[in-house]
Amino acid sequence: MPRSTAARVLIRLLPSIGAVVLLVPAALGVSQAKREGPALLPDLDQEPPTGLVITQAPARARTTWRLGFRSAASNVGDGPLILEGRRPSRVTPTMRADQVIVRDGAPQQLIRHAGRLRYVRARDHQHWHLLGFERYELRRPHGRRALVTDRKSGFCLGDRYSVTGRELPAHPGAPIYTSRCGLEHPSLLGIREGISVGYGDDYQANLEGQWLALDGLAAGRYLLVHRVNADRRLRERSYANNAASLRFRLRWRHGAPAIDRIETCPDSARCP
């Protein structure tokens, strides 16, 4: 076999794990593999809940009182989070989201079936959402079971804010993913969403599912837990910072709830 042919990087699809991996032939040697470098993975850092607000639900809603909150997840990794959505036709209601991994000096790597995208029609926006990017729950500080879970439909990923106070060599210098996720274009067959290194995606309190119901909860201490990439379908450099929490005290007075913040716990779902 000619050396030029043997030096090519082969791409093989492995259906059993649903991913495309890059294989380096033995003829290349260890030095060539090292020159191509590792995968530049994103690292999603879940921020603790902020912007807590209690609101009364609209008439005819299933709940009466809601705890709204801001959520945010930043990319502090070595490479961008990139998702390519595709569907075969407009009859298919969702897109398959594949994750694109950037590699240093080598072809990109494709992780298939990293998630699903769905066009969401809400009162405040209509665009393509990545389903299940973040999850929210309320539970007791020492309990293992979630008492209340979210009804969030999905997330329009993008470079919405800059990460401060950290030196990130892979920061591109300016936001890259600034699209509106196919706003008012439900007929799209493909779309790209992502978060660059040094940027994050956030949602404000009560914006389309940014709340948890307080109905039926007894007075006492609770944990509000936010998790990003909870099912770990997205490939990351580390999963240690994918959860953050807030401990608070819930009080009821004349049938209305109130909360007292006690402690914020970055990188912890238990707030020890």
- Residues 153-206 have pLDDT tens digits of 789 999 999 999 999 999 999 999 999 999 999 999 999 999 999 999 999 999
Residues 127/121, Cβ–Cβ less than 8 Å? no
pLDDT score, position 63: 82
146 burial class (0-12, 13-18, 19+ CB within 10 angstroms)? middle
Can you tell me the mean pLDDT for 242-254? Answer: 97
Residue type, 191: I
Residues 246/55, Cβ–Cβ less than 8 Å? no
For the cut 50, the answer to whether the pLDDT of residue 25 exceeds it is no
Cα–Cα distances in Å, from 141 out to 82, 108, 144, 222, 225?
35, 43, 9, 6, 10
pLDDT score, position 78: 98
Residue 196 in tokens: 């660059």
pLDDT score, position 19: 41
Cα–Cα distances in Å, from 34 out to 9, 30, 103, 106, 107?
13, 6, 12, 11, 14
pLDDT score, position 272: 78
pLDDT score, position 126: 86
Name every residue whose Cβ is closer than 8 Å to that of residue 167 and which is 6 or more positions away in sequence: none
Distance of alpha carbon 75 from alpha carbon 137, whole angstroms? 22
- Residue 77 confidence class, pLDDT cut points 50, 70, 90: very high
148 or 33: whose pLDDT is higher? 148
At 4, phi and psi to the nearest 5? -65, -35
- Residue 58 confidence class, pLDDT cut points 50, 70, 90: confident
- Residue 36 confidence class, pLDDT cut points 50, 70, 90: low
pLDDT score, position 15: 35
What does pTM read for this prediction?
0.84
pLDDT score, position 14: 34
Least confident of 41-50, 148-157, 189-198, 214-223: 148-157
